[in-house]
Amino acid sequence: MTAQTTHPRRLPGDLQSPRSKLVYLYLDAADGATLGELERDLDMPKISLLSVLNKLSSLDHVDGAGPEYTYRCA
């Protein structure tokens, strides 16, 4: 049996803020997360996460919306 390795996506060059990069990398590594999971695991307030997710979504890097939706890298 051979081990499978997955390679993370390259970090998009248009992400400037450390929070955007952190959220993007987390979503990539976790293969998606809800807003609650992001809040808990990254210890970030929901208002900050919503702002970051909105920005990532507007750049077409993340799919998802709403408090119970699972956000994923696009």
Does 5 score more than 80 pLDDT? no
Q: Tell which phi-psi region holds residue 51, choosing left (phi > 0), alpha (psi between -120 and 50) or beta.
A: alpha
In three-state secondary structure terms, 74 is coil
pLDDT 10s digits, 25-72: 999 999 999 999 999 999 999 999 999 999 999 999 999 866 678 999
